[in-house]
């Protein structure tokens, strides 16, 4: 597998959010967010995931909304609430530290050994 050493920032990396849905139920949608794509358009108005949230309605009248953020350079699981009640529940889960997060890194070589290990 050929993994680029850094994300291709500024290049379109996603056109179809449906192919990135990892999980969906009546409360949440979890997306596999690629590195190099912003979650919000921000002050510069660049392309972002939010631009295509209409694809993720799945029959509901409202667009899903972000329960948290990931930096543009970061890939990972992004949690969206499907309606206001779900967003309140998710907000409480994140603010109270009840969500367990695991961070993994892909490197081109092993990190240097430390004195502890």
Distance between CA atoms of 35 and 50, rounded to whole angstroms?
Answer: 15
Least Cα distance to 56 among 32, 90, 88 occurs for 32
Active site residue 54: no
Q: Is 73:37 a contact under the CB 8 Å cutoff?
A: no
Give me the residues paired with residue 65 across strands.
Answer: 81
* Cα separation, 105 vs 56, whole angstroms: 28
Catalytic residue among 16, 52, 54, 71: 71
Q: Which residues are catalytic?
A: 71
């Amino acid at each position: 597998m050929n993994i680029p050493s850094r994300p291709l920032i500024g290049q379109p990396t996603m056109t179809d959010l449906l192919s990135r849905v990892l999980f969906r139920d009546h409360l949440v949608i979890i997306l596999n967010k690629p590195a190099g794509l912003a979650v919000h358009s921000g002050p510069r108005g660049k392309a972002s995931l939010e631009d295509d949230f209409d694809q993720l309605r799945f029959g509901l009248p409202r667009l899903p909304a972000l329960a948290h953020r990931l930096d543009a350079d970061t890939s990972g699981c992004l949690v969206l609430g499907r309606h206001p009640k779900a967003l309140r529940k998710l907000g409480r889960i994140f603010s109270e530290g009840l969500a367990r997060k695991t961070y993994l890194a892909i490197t081109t070589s092993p990190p240097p050994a430390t004195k502890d290990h």
